[in-house]
Amino acid sequence: MIRQSPNDLARVRAAQAKLEQISDASGGYGVEPLWLDEAERWRWDALPDALYVNRGDPYTKTQLYDTRADAFLDIAWGDWLAAQQASNPPASGNDGTPL
């Protein structure tokens, strides 16, 4: 998640416009945001962690823009999300279960 600055917002809007063009040209179902922490979605100053072209299946290769890395990737968004969650596991209790 990114805290918004005018430059960040402009960068993400430009990426979204590019992804919308890709979606329209390739028969996608629009552009969707991804949030690693759903609570951040409701913050006025937060940007999504990624944007992707919806292909109808989370494990179909698509075009994804990682807002934190400022990078366009060709990857299934489900695979990207799983990799992000694996590298940032949730806190756990003494017995290893998530809190």
35-93 pLDDT per residue, tens: 998 888 888 888 999 999 999 999 999 999 999 999 999 999 999 999 999 987 665 54
pLDDT score, position 3: 62
Kind and range of the H or E run holding 32:
strand 31-34
Sign, Cα dihedral of 60, 61, 62, 65: positive
In this predicted structure, the answer to whether residue 14 has a pLDDT above a threshold of 60 is yes
Alpha-helical segments (H) within 1-99 = 6-26, 77-87
Query: Hey, where are the domains in the chain?
Result: 2-87
Entry pTM: 0.83
**pLDDT score of 40:** 85
